[in-house]
Structure 1
């Protein structure tokens, strides 16, 4: 396409432009059409006042949105966060400032909404660092050879009752379990109305030969204490031996015995020899119960990216696992209102973070601050990579320990 005088100018999405806007997004991700129920769901979840489009004449050439989320931070507080989503740029308009213009407008909007955080999952990890997003959580994936790996479960597991349920019929009970887990792990978003439907989304066109979504719930003393949602992909060897795959979609439990009962159930499903696990926390319980971790082929990948839109409010919203009193020199060219020195003081009971003229003791950019914010990435490790500078001896270790979380942060699903 020949160059023009085109200047990207994002504007708020109008409802009657959604189809064209969403079509631009789908094309940016390869152009594969979605099932009608999936398209309808994302249309219903779109917040038009928080969605942006860039237009070149009559053509939509850029898309972005921001869901309203509340995300758990260390200490258990739920902090308002903009869930950045549906970001796409037409291939005809690459390297013309479309993405930068949307990120600029979006972060200005997030600040005006009073939301101290912006979060996202990245289709390509290299994209968002320049806008101040840091990789803050990690996902665990595995291909477990259940035919050769044994699972050792804790006492009390046999007392847990399991039963099949239709996924839709068990939805409220599963959501209650999920909601009870949210305060205990940083990175988990509280489910907003409508988001429970995402967990049931199961278009036949995307099953890849697997069954429809199935659900099992765990009970103790008549109360639902856990659930697993999964599919089974049958397969057979040339000689006729079964070696199907269980594809785990979602699992949550309120106690170790219930969790172990669900994992054991998935391990033992007839005619299967593989359990495929995706997007799990890095401290998942089965890692400590298996007889051979190598045959589980564990792998890690980046999960949630965090951007501090308001440094003072964000750092004041979480707690710190040891007392901390440190002056941070923050570099943030993209959100210059964050730049400068901030004194952070806090402990397990609360924190404050205020502007200061005192000498800086640690220097880092907004990207590193976002990576460390949920407690899953240590400031010490970032310093070893040259991304954090210690200006007062001892300040780095003190802050790194304080920023940590006893429970690794985890994003249970994308958005």
Structure 2
């Protein structure tokens, strides 16, 4: 009977991609994607970093990894496996297929020499048992633009705005994005091909909204910001009640940022601005006249897994000096388990094995949650997830691990 249920894990072959991806689509409900979207993910899939689970000649599981560089506190760009396209066929649940794929994948990431693995989860409850902690959150909202006003900074009126075809200004917009990547932990450096995701706009998925639109902000002839959005018209008996659906907005300075938001607030025949996947410390919260009319909601975003504890903790800097011995438990990747002495400050860090007495005890999951600086070690301690062994060590480490800006993943993968 054991051999009847056995599955074969193997690196994905390009010839098998369609069946592998069809299994993924079925696992997420079976609704077919547009040819445009399917072709994009086909082109982005790194088959040599993807695995499939096969029962005979039938694909019953999938797991991929993108070759990412992730900004960490201090601005360094660190290699990270972007775990993606994870699925198990409903016919093969509760047989260890997911665990086997996660085991193989983390072993591979370690072999590649990458200190981090990251993912976004369709169900957040799944990945904690594999050592992933929620490292970033994002905010969504529906802003009542008829009742909310903006207070903009000096210089906003000097910013020139103009409509542009999204594809024609894509390069300039990507330049703006690239300049911002080092400034916020959690952001991904977009490698060639990923810019296409920013233009993905299948007609069948617009649900009555317009095609993707773009407005750029210029100063002295240079693009210093942009926003991409759609408009969904709607009429009530009292008049127009359309919605602006914000895709993304980036700017290099406060005046350009405010000018773009003011434009979105003032689009004719609309009364609501729908935002998605914005930073939890998004500055728009400090420009609006009534935060309650923004209906903000917070949800998990990037889940972070330290594959190599020492290398990962050395790759970032620390807001305040730290000298702490961490007693780390890691049942899924036992090479991380044990005591590590972390010494660091705003200039750099070292993290090495030690036999010294522990100051803090925690699992690799809590380290992943705190790694990008958006989740406080002190809060995890209050929840009983971090144990303070040396008095005062938790407050010291919490301050050191913190970030001046909230970590943020600007788009999914």
Q: TM-score range by the shorter chain?
A: over 0.9
Q: How far does residue 9 in structure 1 lie from its aligned partner after superposition?
A: 3.3
Assess if the C-alpha contact under 8 Å between 1:142 and 1:298 holds in 2.
Answer: yes
Equivalence map 1:192-203=2 (5 Å): 192-203=191-202
The number of residue pairs the alignment matches comes to 413
Assess if the C-alpha contact under 8 Å between 1:146 and 1:267 holds in 2.
Answer: yes
Aligned to 1:47: 46
Equivalence map 1:163-178=2 (5 Å): 163-178=162-177
1:57-100 Cα offsets, whole Å, 9 max, x none, are: 11100001000000000000000000000001101111110100
1:265-314 Cα offsets, whole Å, 9 max, x none, are: 00000000000000000111110011111011000000100000000000
1:319-361 Cα offsets, whole Å, 9 max, x none, are: 0010000000000010000000000000000000000010111
Aligned to 2:115: 116
Given candidates 306, 309, 322, the residue that maps to 1:308 is 306
Equivalence map 1:13-412=2 (5 Å): 13-239=12-238, 241-412=239-410
Equivalence map 1:2-17=2 (5 Å): 5-17=4-16
Q: Distance in 1 between matches of 2:385 and 2:234?
A: 48
Q: How far does residue 5 in structure 1 lie from its aligned partner after superposition?
A: 2.7
Q: Distance in 2 between matches of 1:303 and 1:39?
A: 23
Q: How far does residue 4 in structure 1 lie from its aligned partner after superposition?
A: 6.8
Q: TM-score, normalised by structure 1?
A: 0.99
1:353-375 Cα offsets, whole Å, 9 max, x none, are: 00001011100001000000000
Q: Distance in 2 between matches of 1:34 and 1:88?
A: 16
Please give the secondary structure, in 1, of the residue aligned with 2:86.
Answer: strand
Q: Distance in 1 between matches of 2:205 and 2:359?
A: 51
Assess if the C-alpha contact under 8 Å between 1:14 and 1:48 holds in 2.
Answer: yes
Structure 1: give runs of 5+ residues left out of the alignment.
none
Structure 2: give runs of 5+ residues left out of the alignment.
none
Q: Distance in 2 between matches of 1:263 and 1:72?
A: 26
Please give the secondary structure, in 2, of the residue aligned with 1:5.
Answer: helix
Q: Distance in 1 between matches of 2:383 and 2:2?
A: 40
Q: Distance in 2 between matches of 1:88 and 1:62?
A: 5
1:223-243 Cα offsets, whole Å, 9 max, x none, are: 11000000000000034x001
Please give the secondary structure, in 2, of the residue aligned with 1:217.
Answer: strand
Q: How far does residue 3 in structure 1 lie from its aligned partner after superposition?
A: 8.9
Q: Distance in 2 between matches of 1:386 and 1:125?
A: 20
RMSD of aligned C-alpha atoms? 0.9
Q: Distance in 1 between matches of 2:7 and 2:400?
A: 42
